[in-house]
Structure 1
Amino acid sequence: MNPGGYIPNHVSFFRIGVLALEMSTGLLMNAFLIFAVYRDFLKTKTVSNSYKILLGLAISNVCFGILMSLALLDYFCSLGIFPTINPTYIYLYLLLFTITSCGWFSASLGFFYFIKISDFKSRCFSWMKTNISSFVPRMLLVTGTVSLFNSLLSNLLFIFRPTLSGNTTDYSPSMVSLLSRSSTTFVKTAIISTVLPFLVVFTTTLFTVVALKKHRKRMKNVQTSDSLHMRSYENVVRRMTHCLLFYVIFYVVMIIVYFVVITWVESGFWLLLLLLNSFSPVQSTLLVLANPRLKAAWKEIFLCAHLQEMFSTKKQQN
């Protein structure tokens, strides 16, 4: 099978291996985030505001990984999952929804830390900070609603594409084949759908960093419990800055892929797949590193921290 004439029939094992590694890592990391939130809920009987946003982000990334895995499995195994055009439109809508919701949940997380850390003179922002517990559910509702409508509008670009609206009843093309025919449209749609969330993340992170620097100057020689919180927030913002750099690099590469690679390079579509599937594992890894509670949970679960602590205790007793 040769999707859109871009690649030979036999895809290299290297590409398959990298795609499998990216998807499995992304699913593992986001499944860990969901499990960590559930584990924390069992202990505290409540879910923190930041964990609510992380949960939505992790679920959207898991759904994206499942959809991409389904498309690639259909391509490599010729399952014929998309015999008609209607399942194709439904799949595209779900895929665009996961991409869009991921962007907006990322923006919500950045906006949450911005509200949580910064001091405001505006009544609106002051009310949000005072009522952050009641504001977060409303923000998540708006995030989901915007993602639904944004994905619907984005899907219209594919509905009116001749490459997708043609007769597909005579054979069962894979989703990879269908996407390769409209690869430039798909990249353009992904960029348009996520550019506004990216601007929100970029702006809120910058304002948060500025607010922290101002607060650090005021508390330079003051040792209070607030200073401990500020140091923890500084670590979060530092990691958020790393996320921001990752978003910038990701967008630059996506733009290069859109304007140059897909048009001029035969394997550009597979480069697009590698790029899209790299987003989830890298973002989830940065989020785990940014949260001390998630880092501790990761060490306890995967590095057997409780066993190490038990052995160190026995050695001290001996």
Structure 2
Amino acid sequence: MLSVVEGLLIFVAVSESVLGILGNGFIGVVSCIDFVKSKKISTVSLILTGLASSRFCLIWIIITNTYVRMFFPDIYLSGNLIQYIAYLWIIMNQSSVWFATSLSIFYFLKIANYSHCIFLWLKGHINRVLLLFMGCLFISWLFAFPSIVKPVINNIMKNRSTTWLISMHKSEYLTNQILLNIGVILFFVLCLITCFLLITSLWRHNRKMRLSATGFRDPSTEAHVKAMKILVSFIILFILYFIGTAIQISVGTIPENKLLLIVGITTRLLYPWGHSLILILGNRKLKQDSLRVLKPLKCWEKAKFLRIP
């Protein structure tokens, strides 16, 4: 039986899931429609499509995993279900973080202004950099699958109980989890570094524009301030996602703690739906398309309201 707090947190998590599915689904559909119309796709559109698709699938995996784990623990620990969830989780989680990092690298190389020779070389070879970075994703997959996931799953299959982690030493479990997420951690750190450098570059540019201002409001200054706000919001959500992941990992050492499990899920889901909203509001094309979609709904609501006697 769920407590009031647990029920409230589940309601919040479900709301976040619905918003995340709608937001990421919208980004993916718009990108695909643009590709069909123009017969070509830009690098940033390709990254956005991959990011939205991976997070769309990631949300469904989180929902399924949590639902089965909370309400049907016997089914969760029987057969090959946990193995399939583990593999899908690794693919989608690492892909989601990889696309988010690729997006931050792309904007960093496109927008930032540094005179260092390494930065200038990277700026002139963005596609090569992203292609090389994709190789890191495949290496991370190959490292995680055979070396880390299988031993954990085998241990679960041998014990087949909700307290299977008691039989595994806590330090061993935490070590396995760190190794399993080592690729994600590296992507996360790289993403934070590029975002920090981009914010620094934008802040310097904004400061120069203010010092040389003649009384008129510079549109480029407003754009840079908006970009900094978007980046800061993204970093906060990204950090919350990893905090939620850390909570999820800690749940493994405290069996049958539903409240902690739900808190971790609620915290993690803030990122996939929150960042999709930021992308829609921060991208002119996506924002216009979203307003175009919402306009008929608004008119329908208004007409329905007027028909009420």
Give the alignment's TM-score, normalised by structure 2. 0.73
Q: Deviations over 1:45-103 (max 9, x none)?
A: 3322222211111111111122233335545579958742x442232021122112222
- Structure 1 contact 27–65 (Cα < 8 Å) conserved: yes
Asked if 1:278 is matched to 2:267, the reply is no
Asked if 1:200 is matched to 2:222, the reply is no
- Structure 1 contact 99–190 (Cα < 8 Å) conserved: no
Q: Which residue of 1 aligns with 2:17?
A: 23
Q: Which residue of 2 aligns with 1:54?
A: 48
- Structure 1 contact 104–147 (Cα < 8 Å) conserved: no
Question: Could you say what secondary structure the match of 2:56 adopts?
Answer: helix
Matching residue's letter, 2:237: F
Question: Could you say what secondary structure the match of 1:99 adopts?
Answer: helix
Q: Which residue of 1 aligns with 2:26?
A: 32
Specify which of 137, 141, 152 is matched with residue 145 of structure 2. Answer: 152
CA pair 40-161 structure 1, distance change in 2 beyond 3 A = closer
Specify which of 134, 147, 168 is matched with residue 141 of structure 1. Answer: 134
Q: How far 1:257 sits from its partner (Å)?
A: 6.6
Q: Which residue of 1 aligns with 2:230?
A: 239
Q: Which residue of 1 aligns with 2:303?
A: none
Asked if 1:289 is matched to 2:273, the reply is no
Identity of matched residues, %: 19
What CA RMSD, in Å, does the superposition of the two structures yield over aligned residues? 4.1
CA distance in 2 between partners of 1:277 and 1:152 (Å): 24
CA pair 167-205 structure 1, distance change in 2 beyond 3 A = closer
Give the alignment's TM-score, normalised by structure 1. 0.71
- Structure 1 contact 164–178 (Cα < 8 Å) conserved: no
Q: Which residue of 1 aligns with 2:291?
A: 299
- Structure 2 contact 27–52 (Cα < 8 Å) conserved: yes
CA distance in 2 between partners of 1:73 and 1:254 (Å): 17
- Structure 2 contact 65–85 (Cα < 8 Å) conserved: no
CA pair 97-109 structure 1, distance change in 2 beyond 3 A = same
Q: Which residue of 2 aligns with 1:210?
A: 200
- Structure 2 contact 95–137 (Cα < 8 Å) conserved: yes
Structure 1: unaligned runs, 5 residues or longer = 1-7, 309-318
Structure 2: unaligned runs, 5 residues or longer = 301-309
Matching residue's letter, 2:40: T
Q: How far 1:137 sits from its partner (Å)?
A: 5.3
Q: How far 1:34 sits from its partner (Å)?
A: 0.2
Asked if 1:97 is matched to 2:74, the reply is no
CA pair 180-268 structure 1, distance change in 2 beyond 3 A = farther
Aligned length: 288
Q: Which residue of 2 aligns with 1:5?
A: none
Matching residue's letter, 1:297: D
